[in-house]
Amino acid sequence: MELTIFILRLAIYILAFPIYLLNFLGLWSRICKKCFPYFLARFTVMYNEQMASKKRELFGNLQEFAGPSGKLSLLEVGCGTGANFRFYPPGCRVTCIDPNPNFEKFLIKSIAENRHLQFERFVIAAGENMHQVADGSVDVVVCTLVLCSVKNQEQILREVCRVLRPGGAFYFMEHVAAERSTWNSFWQQVLDPVWPLLFDGCSLTRESWKTLERAGFSKLKLQHIQAPLSWEIVRPHIYGYAVK
């Protein structure tokens, strides 16, 4: 099996050589940062259609974490195009963080389509360093399809815990590594070296549930599912929430 994976990876390296060359020259990242939001805008439409019931289930109890004022203060890390906005409760105060400034115009469109929310600001920053957000200042942090691509999962979860108020919650929905010795796992291992270049740092083989289990939350509700997605390679998912 390892030899087969090696041979297939070698073939992919050869086919993807132009991309690797552009990346070596420092050009690919700039191209990807500009083009990826357009891809994600299309992908999230499909993803939301196929995962709508799971998202409604996941976000169904968000309001329970609202502060004394009754208004929910929510920070979305890696907000992308704002695909989660329609699942948030009315009156929710939303702050968005993403390292890619090219998402801003897509966010503006999503904000206009979701007038039930109170949008506060868009911060251009990586989730590993959210110094613009004060300690203990938000009720809920949301992160969907983000832990697959961050550089340091442990650091982003430390930042999540920092900005959450005591008793606040971290909601997540992530594609993860498939069960080992399955065909899905086989193809994830074959494609993983080139996948981050094509999809803005995304990794197919992260066992993100292990990082969440080590993060020190007082409560962790986590489920493994096979998501009903067209792309079989990203069907293995985890979703749930953790309480600080």
What are the φ and ψ backbone dihedral angles of 240, each rounded to 5 degrees? 155, -160
Which pairs from 224-231 meet CB under 8 Å and 24+ separation? 224/176, 225/54, 227/50, 227/51, 227/54, 227/175, 228/50, 228/51, 229/47, 229/50, 229/51, 230/46, 230/50
Q: What is the mean pLDDT of each run of 10 residues along the chain (244 residues)?
A: 85 90 89 91 93 96 90 95 95 95 92 94 94 95 96 96 96 96 93 92 95 95 95 96 96
Q: Which contiguous run of DSSP H or E holds residue 238? A: strand 236-243
Per-residue confidence (pLDDT) for residue 67, from 0 to 100: 86
What's the number of domains the chain is made of?
Answer: 1
3-class state of residue 224 by DSSP:
strand
Burial class (CB in 10 A: 0-12, 13-18, 19+), 101: exposed
Our CA dihedral for 192, 195, 199, 204, rounded to 10 degrees, sits at -20
How many other C-beta atoms lie within 10 A of the C-beta of residue 179? 11
What CATH number does residue 61 fall under? 3.40.50.150
* 31, 172, 218 from 157: Cα distances, Å: 29, 11, 13
CB 163 within 8 A of CB 125: no
Element housing 221 (H / E) = strand 219-226
pLDDT at 5: 84
Domain extent at residue 131: 1-243
Determine the pLDDT at residue 61. 95
Q: Which two tokens stand for residue 127?
A: 């989730």
Q: Determine how many CB atoms are found less than 10 A away from the CB of residue 98.
A: 24
Q: Is the pTM of this model over 0.75?
A: yes
What is the model's pLDDT at position 190? 94
Confirm if 164 and 136 have CB atoms less than 8 A apart: yes
